[in-house]
């Protein structure tokens, strides 16, 4: 059984190849993703060349890539990619080290505490690096082994959160903390921190040719995973119980709502029936009122026409009365003037006749003339008296017209009393 080696404890005396064989027996690799394949001379690539397993090998140094491509030209199950891996897709600085195997994203001078003669020979900006998650998803979806054989592994793992979660084995090249300063890249403590939330545990650290650098082997923590699964199962059971209770509560609410809907629908149906009956009754009342209104309108029009006719008749009668009154006044004035004139002439003639009687003996001829004048005047008086009789008849006719006018006015007032209230409403 594998034992966990704590930081500062002695590292495994077994070779990395032996550990790879034991890991392959315990966690059979379905696919391997190797970052930092180098020139192919390392233990991991040599171990892969002796196995039949699908793997994707990634190398960022072009010279190493060319050498590796020639080495793997006859190995069809091993795919090779030349690209720089970073924590995210953004411009990064790639440093060429005096030892080509240590070229990468960190400045080699950061390892002076453990590697004083390691220096940087060249640096270049990589505009669009890739991430481990991207490579795993596109080129090695079945991989259950992740090997980062370069520094700093903790930085590269920041771009592999999805990939590490499904790995059974993770092997990282690390700097042992007790042999370096805290600023040294790729320290094992940093790698452990990057994996603290995953279901992995440190199984062993294996020596390399450099005493301060090792390969840290992390494997899936089955016991911890079992505990997590048990807790997840317990949480799922609790969630299921709560969900069933919630479902029952929701079902009760739904049933209550359905009953309420049925009650509302029943009430709505009753209200709709009552509304329909009220609408029908209103329609009937409207038809009756409309008919009554039409009849009232017709009666109003007829009454107005009758009133107009009566008013025209009254106006005609008033005009006739005015005309008759005017004519009668003129005739009366004329008759009065003629009567006065006749009276005056009669007085004159009477006086003349008296004088004529006295003067009869003086002038018979004059007396005859005066007598003739008197007879003419008497005839005229008779005519005037006849005219006065006619005037009396006229006055009687006017009285009768006035009576008819009074009766017509009373008739109009009666019509107003009958019609005006209906017209106002």
Give me the domains of the chain, ranges plus CATH numbers.
16-220 (3.40.50.150), 296-424 (1.10.287)
Beta-bridge mates of residue 58 = 35, 81
The pLDDT value recorded for residue 185 is 81
3-state secondary structure of 161: helix
The total of other beta-carbon atoms located within 10 Å of residue 139's CB is 14
For range 288-292, the mean pLDDT: 81
| Two tokens, residue 255 | 């049933």
107-138: pLDDT as tens digits: 888 888 888 899 999 999 999 999 999 999 99
The pLDDT value recorded for residue 123 is 92
Highest mean pLDDT among 116-130, 252-266, 314-328, 387-401: 116-130
The pLDDT value recorded for residue 12 is 55
Q: Where does residue 11 rank: exposed (0-12), middle (13-18), buried (19+ CB within 10 A)?
A: middle
- Distance (Å) of CA 305 to CA 220, 407, 416: 112, 19, 13
The pLDDT value recorded for residue 199 is 85
Of the two residues 343 and 131, the one the predictor is more confident about is: 131
Share of the chain above pLDDT 90, in %: 34
Q: How far apart are CA 208 and CA 108, in angstroms?
A: 18
DSSP for 216-259, written as a single string: EEEEE-HHHHHHHHHHHHHHHHHHHHHHHHHHHHHHHHHHHHHH
The pLDDT value recorded for residue 357 is 65
Lowest model confidence (mean pLDDT) among 276-280, 305-309, 354-358, 377-381: 354-358
Q: Angle at the Cα of 54 (from 49 to 56), degrees rounded to 5?
A: 85
CB 395 within 8 A of CB 328: yes
Task: Categorize the per-residue pLDDT at 242 as very low, low, confident or very high, splitting at 50, 70 and 90.
Answer: confident
Is 10 a residue whose pLDDT tops 70? no
| Two tokens, residue 398 | 């006017």
DSSP for 30-82, written as a single string: S-EEEE--TTS-SHHHHHHHTS---EEEEE--HHHHHHHHHHTTT-TTEEEEE
197-221: pLDDT as tens digits: 888 999 999 989 998 999 999 999 8
In sequence order, the 6+-apart residues with CB closer than 8 A to the CB of 320 are 401
């Amino acid at each position: 059984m594998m034992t966990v080696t704590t930081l500062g404890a002695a590292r495994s005396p077994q070779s990395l190849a032996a550990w790879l064989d034991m890991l392959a027996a315990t966690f059979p690799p379905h696919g391997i993703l190797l970052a930092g394949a180098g020139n192919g001379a390392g233990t991991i690539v040599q171990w892969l060349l002796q196995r039949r397993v699908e793997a994707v090998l990634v190398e960022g140094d072009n010279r190493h890539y060319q050498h590796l491509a020639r080495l793997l030209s006859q190995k069809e199950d091993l795919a090779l990619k030349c690209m720089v891996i970073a924590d995210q897709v953004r411009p990064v600085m790639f440093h060429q080290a005096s030892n080509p195997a240590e070229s990468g994203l960190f400045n080699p001078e950061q390892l002076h505490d453990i590697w004083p003669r390691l220096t940087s020979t060249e640096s270049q900006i990589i505009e669009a690096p890739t991430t481990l998650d991207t490579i795993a998803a596109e080129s090695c979806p079945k991989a259950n082994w992740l090997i980062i054989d370069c520094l700093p592994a903790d930085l590269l793992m920041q771009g592999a959160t999805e990939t590490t979660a499904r790995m059974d084995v993770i092997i990282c090249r690390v700097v042992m903390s007790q042999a370096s300063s805290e600023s040294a890249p790729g320290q094992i403590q940093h790698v452990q921190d990057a994996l603290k939330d995953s279901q992995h545990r440190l199984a062993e650290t294996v020596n390399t040719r450099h005493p301060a650098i090792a390969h840290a082997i992390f494997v899936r923590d089955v016991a911890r995973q079992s505990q997590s699964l048990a807790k997840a199962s317990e949480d799922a059971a609790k969630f299921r119980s709560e969900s069933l209770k919630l479902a029952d509560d929701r079902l009760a609410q739904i049933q209550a709502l359905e009953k309420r809907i049925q009650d509302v629908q029943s009430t709505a149906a009753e209200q709709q029936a009552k509304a329909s009956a009220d609408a029908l009754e209103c329609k009937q009342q409207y038809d009756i009122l409309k008919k009554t209104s039409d009849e009232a309108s017709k009666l109003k029009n007829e009454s107005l026409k009758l009133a107009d006719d009566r008013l025209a008749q009254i106006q005609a009668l008033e005009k006739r009365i005015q005309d008759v009154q005017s004519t009668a006044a003129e005739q009366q004035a004329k008759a009065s003037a003629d009567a006065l004139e006749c009276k005056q002439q009669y007085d004159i003639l009477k006086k003349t006749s008296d004088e004529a009687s006295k003067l009869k003996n003086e002038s018979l001829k004059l007396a005859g003339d005066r007598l003739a004048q008197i007879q003419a005047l008497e005839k005229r008086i008779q005519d005037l008296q006849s005219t006065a009789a006619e005037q009396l008849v006229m006055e009687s006719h006017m009285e009768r017209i006035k009576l008819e006018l009074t009766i017509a006015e009373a008739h109009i007032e009666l019509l107003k009393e009958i019609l005006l209230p209906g017209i106002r409403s």
